[in-house]
Amino acid sequence: MEKTGAPRISAFCKEMKMDDTYTDSDVIDDRINSAIAAQVEAVMESLTWQQKSAIGIITGNRVIGNRVFKNPRMTREELHLHYKSAKLVMWPHLLRRDLVKKEVDV
């Protein structure tokens, strides 16, 4: 092509930046949820493996609605105790990061 000396980009558009003006609300919700999940995961890294296992098993069973998931290394009572202790450990961190709205009886 012949060079005309004109710039490839309009001077008007040179300083424009991409923003969320035309972003779908579902995309924005996904970004917010992934940021929250990353913060919760950072808090969960401070837990013991028993507490992490108890959280995974109990939340999985709540989603399904049955007692399908279990850990052969723990009884149901131990699982419940580890779950309660995990909540006690996580609660102050979640409050500090504003991931929960108010204090409740754990």
The tens digit of pLDDT for each residue in 37-78 reads 999 999 999 999 999 999 999 888 888 888 788 888 888 899
Predicted local confidence at residue 71, as pLDDT: 85
Please give the Cα distance from 82 to 52 (Å, whole number). Answer: 8
pTM (two decimals): 0.65
Let me know: does 90 contact 42? Beta carbons within 8 Å: no
Q: What one-character-per-residue DSSP string does 36-102 give?
A: HHHHHHHHHTTS-HHHHHHHHHHHHHHHHSS-----TTS-HHHHHHHHHHHHHHHHHHHHHTT-SSS
Output 100 or 23, whichever has higher pLDDT: 100
Domain spans, the chain? 25-96
| Banded pLDDT at 102 (limits 50, 70, 90) | confident
Dihedral sign for Cα atoms in the order 88, 93, 99, 100: positive
